[in-house]
Structure 1
């Protein structure tokens, strides 16, 4: 017996050590997945004749109010923001504005109330009370989309007016409000029976009225009349993520209208003002404005020059960036140039008034480098006029040749520009058109109808182009091939649902929702040739004013923004293939059209993971490794444990 015990004891120790090596970390009990439960409130929901300005709502556990200024919507809107906080198990709202008589107040917490431990939100929780003897209970709902690109408008206010006059929107605050969620959805609650005008407003100064033309807005042309009706819905209770437990029929009150669609837009107004000026090159003065504006007037104050044409103007499309290339040698030599500039500036009343400023442009020559000093006295190399172009070795068939020179051009002898086409290894001259840019005196465009798969050579002889500073170009010679048709696909849309007699355009979009091709609809067809293979998307706009561009709305003129429709899917273009697609632009409602892949304001899905499932997954992995864990941390001494079954999800 003595020898048997001696043999057993070391073996027992080894067995225990081996079991301890397989022990897993304790996982604890199940996480709480239930949201806070309402116990009581003061005042109670739907209470009448309320006079107290503090609302206290008690729950069955400690809670937090997340992002109260963003998520909690109080209507009627408050000029002075109420104090919204959590105290233990209570949510407290303390009004700073005096309560209005005979008014229904609604505090919509959305999903701001969460439990203190796990952060489980209480979804769609709201409380209403009245300061009079009647509670208004009607509601309207819908969505707000950006008119230009059908993006869900997140966090934009939606407000109601019983005053049907057009000026109410710009002069008086909203009577009832809501705010859109990540999907652009809204519900305005606590409405009385009657007629309303409804608006959306990106309220920058939080005064609940449209008094800033830079605020995005939306308005509905028709009058809204809230109503309600009894309705039923089917609620499904799941045992787990795939297994249905029961289907319940629920009676509820449906509030109408519940499908309002508002298309938000910015008027295009931008405050005009001068931003800055600079002279980073001796020969160039640059002026920057904050917004598109009229071309300003310049008067040279220093140095005094009798030459009125002392500069060459280069400007952006909207005149927000202007470059003055100094062409007068007297002015060019001056280290300081002073100008008087007359321009438009927007005042506090949003009026564009003429403003005058004196601008001083200073330039200091950079210090010479050691190499420059060593090279002093040596014969200078001849400097030539640099030129850039967009020619690629494999050139797009629809793309003209763009030339941009280093300095403004005063002389361009186009007879010394040659475009030749290769036939049987011999290059022959072909005709082309050369056009100067109307805004930029350094840019030129060469146009020719390219032959698919053709080989070309562009030659610009030396001393063809002369700049205002006396530089000549060196010889340019570039050979290139135009892509063959078998490298492109073609796409035709057969369109329906378009308004009769209205012009329309189809735009092709890349994966970032940026348009890269546009074609006019003719006879209910949009035909786009020579598309590079790849994934693309499409949208269409109705060109009401026939200017070839999408045009925004104008509330003062009662003009809605031009209508936009999206093709609801992606299109895969294959090389050397003709694609044809039928597209009914009104088949789907606007909020269902834009593909999610090109939607920037993607809806915020519930990102809370199921912690219990995560814990059980970890448990199963530990079991497969041979060490089941138990609350308290004791390890298993037996064989592999049976994987745990997925729990039944609690019904909600």
Structure 2
């Protein structure tokens, strides 16, 4: 190494210090640069759930009488929404206390245990590792207070009656009694979850006769409080034995009717700096009117008065008057519909006089208004024919045509087919409604006192594609 020039007139102590720095400093810089070249790595993400190491008393214990169960895992764990996830069968009046600490989960039994009874504790997805929160899915512990285990099983599936779809948040309940009040006042004997396929399975059941229900139960207490909850029931009790046939339940809920009471101010709260006036929307898409639906005005606040003679209808830019039309106001006084035959590819004008309508807040238009729009051409539509094969006409099948979850058309079949000369192009979902009461719409069930099942809707897998200026046809089995 070449030593830099040092002035001999410097003190000897300084000369020694400078030489030492000149020798050591380059080595420190090299080591520092090497250390910064490779950043530390945290390793791959842990994707494995906790593993059970020991449990006291052991799983599948007989003659069980302990009040505390301790589970020890291979890593630190925590509990997520334990009361929502925990299912104990048979259902106790008081759920056990469940706590986690470090690598252990402890269950402290609060209720008394029945003699000669098989119990199962399902933790759902509550047990997770504390770092990555990987759940130990459907972890189950079983014990019996007797010397044998109940081992009978019972399975089935739950379908949403209105759509034919699945709701994996539902629970299936088994009650010993068939009294209506039991659903409100008593916990079920057994309770299990519906999976992502809409299926359920009970295990470790005791033999006997059970009444079967399904329920939307966000609180996890297994009680039926409101007809707005999704609910299903089997027509007859099920006898659990060595071989029990599966059942299919059709879940329904009763929708709350729209509110017609209340003050107008509550229905249409005023916006800051907004000018008070009569407000409405129309049936137009842009400035185009669909030939398949009538033109209408939808008012934000119900009307107190409506004078159809002050709403003039004309065509063309020269405002040629239309004759023979009427306006129809719905029962809520919020929708006014124009009753007339609209011609294709025609410009229409709707002239609204200032005083044509007054809402229940006393608001009118600030001045007269004119709405102009164009109707669609018939060539923009296609004809549609749906043929129904191998269907039982006594079940009164009705085809439901939907788009993005919104019902577009429902129609019954005349001599096994439905036909319309004009249908808006697009891709649609199809379903068949078995219209028991022949009213053209789906009706929910009624359980208490009547035990009436809901009407059933079965979705069609095949999509309906309607093309313009085309004779569109589809056959349904």
TM-score category, normalised to shorter length: 0.7 to 0.9
How far apart, CA to CA, are the structure 2 residues paired with 1:28 and 1:150? 47
Instruction: Provide the rounded CA distance (Å) in 2 between the counterparts of 1:571 and 1:482.
Output: 25
Does residue 397 (structure 1) correspond to residue 301 (structure 2)? The answer is no
User: How big is the shift at 1:32?
Assistant: 4.8
- Structure 1 residue 452 and structure 2 residue 344: aligned? yes
The range that moved more, 67-76 or 533-542, is: 533-542
Which residue in the other structure is 1:188 paired with? Answer: 202
Does the 8 Å CA contact 1:218/1:264 hold for their aligned counterparts? Answer: yes
Give, in angstroms, the shift of residue 398 of structure 1.
Answer: 1.7
- 1:101 equivalent in alignment to 2:115: yes
Return the match for 1:481 from 353, 374, 380: 374
Instruction: Note closer, same or farther for the CA distance 1:563–1:443 as it changes in structure 2 (3 Å cut).
Output: closer
Contact 1:56–1:91 at 8 Å: present in 2 too?
Answer: yes
How far residue 389 of structure 1 moved from its aligned partner, in angstroms, is 5.4
Q: What is the CA–CA distance in structure 1 between the aligned matches of 2:363 and 2:138, rounded to whole Å?
A: 73
**Mean CA deviation greater in 400-409 or 46-55:** 400-409
Q: Give SS of 2:379's match.
A: helix
Deviation at 1:147, TM superposition (A): 2.4
Return the match for 1:219 from 199, 214, 233.
233
Say whether the 8 Å CA contact 1:103–1:130 is kept in structure 2: yes
Structure 1 position 500 matched with structure 2 position 441: no
Residue of structure 2 equivalent to 1:546? 438
Partner of 2:216: 202
Aligned residues between the structures = 440
Which of 305, 315, 319 does residue 260 from structure 2 map onto? 319
| Displacement after TM superposition at 1:454 (Å) | 3.5
Structure 1 residue matching 2:461: 3-state secondary structure: coil
Q: Specify the alignment match of 1:574 in structure 2.
A: 467
Q: 1:500 to 1:55 in 2, by over 3 A?
A: farther
* Of 131-140 and 218-227, the range deviating more from structure 2: 218-227
Q: Which of residues 46, 49, 65 is equivalent to 2:60?
A: 46
Encode CA deviations 1:424-445: one digit per residue, 9 max, x unaligned: x998765443133142557542
The partner residue of 1:261 within 217, 226, 248 is: 248
Residues of 1 paired with 2:351 and 2:49: CA distance? 75
- Alpha-carbon deviation of 1:542? 1.9
Q: 1:141 aligns with which of 124, 142, 155?
A: 155
Return the offset for 1:578.
3.3
Change (3 A) 1:179 1:572: same
Q: C-alpha separation between the residues in 2 aligned to 1:265 and 1:211?
A: 14
Relative contact order, higher structure (CA 8 A, sep 6+): 1
Write out per-residue CA displacement over residues 404-451 of structure 1, whole angstroms, 9 at most, x where no aligned residue: 78964465448x94545x6xx998765443133142557542222233
- Residue in 2 aligned with 1:66? 80
Aligned mate of 2:328, from 432, 436, 450:
436
Secondary structure at 1:25's aligned position in 2? Answer: coil
Q: Secondary structure at the match of 2:440?
A: coil
CA distance in 1 between partners of 2:205 and 2:294 (Å): 60
Seen in structure 2, the aligned counterparts of structure 1 residues 223 and 526 have a Cα distance that, compared at 3 Å, is farther
Contact 1:519 1:527 in 2 (8 A): no
**Structure 1 equivalent of residue 166 of structure 2:** 152
1:571 Cα deviation (Å)?
A: 4.1
> SS in structure 1 opposite 2:395?
coil
Question: 8 Å contact 1:395–1:481 — kept in the other structure?
Answer: yes
The answer to whether 1:555 aligns with 2:447 is: yes
Are the structure 2 counterparts of residues 197 and 529 from structure 1 closer, same or farther at C-alpha, using a change threshold of 3 Å? farther
CA gap 1:318/1:551 in 2 versus in 1, 3 angstroms: farther
CA displacement 1:596-633 (0-9 Å, x = unmatched): xxxxxxxxxxxxxxxxxxxxxxxxxxxxxxxxxxxxxx
Any conservation in 2 of the 1:492–1:581 contact (CA below 8 Å)? yes
Question: Secondary structure of 1:501's partner?
Answer: helix
Q: SS at the partner of 2:410?
A: strand
- Counterparts of 2:333 and 2:399, CA distance in 1: 33
Gaps of 5+ in 1: 3-8, 230-255, 271-291, 293-316, 325-360, 362-368, 370-383, 585-652
Deviation at 1:24, TM superposition (A): 3.8
Say if 2:384 and 2:472, in contact at 8 Å, map to a contact too. yes
Give the Cα separation in 1 of the matches to 2:125 and 2:298: 56
TM-score, normalised to structure 1, is 0.57
Check the 8 A contact 1:408/1:442 in 2, yes or no.
no
Change in Cα spacing, 1:470 to 1:138, as seen in structure 2 (3 Å) is: closer
CA distance in 2, matches of 1:214, 1:201: 11
CA–CA distance in structure 2, aligned partners of residues 387 and 218 of structure 1: 40
Q: Which residue of 2 aligns with 1:516?
A: 408
Q: Following TM superposition, by how much is the alpha carbon of 1:518 offset from its aligned partner in structure 2, in angstroms? A: 2.7
Whether the 8 Å contact between 1:145 and 1:261 is mirrored in structure 2 is yes
Unaligned 5+ segments in structure 2 are 3-22, 267-272
- TM-superposed CA distance for 1:525, in Å, is 2.6
What is the RMSD of the two structures over their aligned residues, measured on CA atoms? 4.2
Instruction: Describe how 1:591-610 pairs up with structure 2 within 5 A.
Output: none
Farther off after superposition, 162-171 or 552-561: 162-171
In structure 2, what is the Cα distance between the partners aligned to 1:438 and 1:387? 14
2:135 corresponds to: 121
State the SS of the aligned residue for 2:458.
strand
Secondary structure in 1 matching 2:394: coil
Measure, in 1, the Cα distance between the counterparts of 2:190 and 2:74: 31
**Residues 464-506 of structure 1, C-alpha deviations (whole Å, 9 max, x = no match):** 9587989899776655432112222344333346443233333
Classify 1:529/1:17 alpha carbon distance in 2 versus 1 (closer, same or farther; 3 Å). Answer: farther
Per-residue deviation at 1:52? Answer: 1.4
Correspondence for 1:178: 192
Alpha-carbon distance in structure 2 between the residues aligned to 1:574 and 1:72: 52
